[in-house]
A and B are shown apart, each in its own frame.
Chain A
C-alpha cells in the first residue's frame, strides 16, 4: 500500500518538504512539482537533509517545472528522477493513493 506524495512549495520558504519526508513510509514516492522542484538540486543548504530523510523513498521531479525555473537536470541530487506529464500519470496509477502536501 504505497503512497505518492506531491510537494509544490519551495523547501526554503517553509517546512512542507521536510515534514512530508518525515511522514513517508518505505516504498513511497515523492514527486516535486512547481516550486517544490527547488528541493531537488544538490549543493544547497537543504540537500543533506533531503537525502537523509529520503531513505527507502523514491524522489521524482516534474521536468517541465524544472525547465521553467532554469534548473538543468545535471544539478539534480543523486537518485532523483525527472519525469514528464505522462510519467506523472504513471506514478499516480502505480500507487494506491496520492497525498498532496500543500
Chain B
C-alpha cells in the first residue's frame, strides 16, 4: 500500500500511516489529506506543523486531549477547542492530523 507523490511511491500501513517517517514532505501531506477528504488550509497546516514540532521534541504523537490542550495554549482557545478541532479534522484531530503530519498513530489511541 502506498501513496503516489508525483510518481514516487510512499509506503503506508493498513490505516494510512506512513511506514518511514523520513519520507514525509509537504507534497505528501497534501496527498494524504486528499485521501482523507480534507482540503488543507492555513489552520490545518498550523495543527500539522504543531504536531511535527511536538514529535521532534518529545518523540511521541500526543493523545487528542493533550493536543487540544497544547494547541489552546500556543494558538489560543478559538483554535484549541474540541468543536473547532473536529471541524478541521472530522475523523479525529489527533489521528487524522498525525496521519497527514507523517507521524505514527498517537500513543493512547485504539
Q: Do chains A and B touch in the complex (CB under 8 A)?
A: no
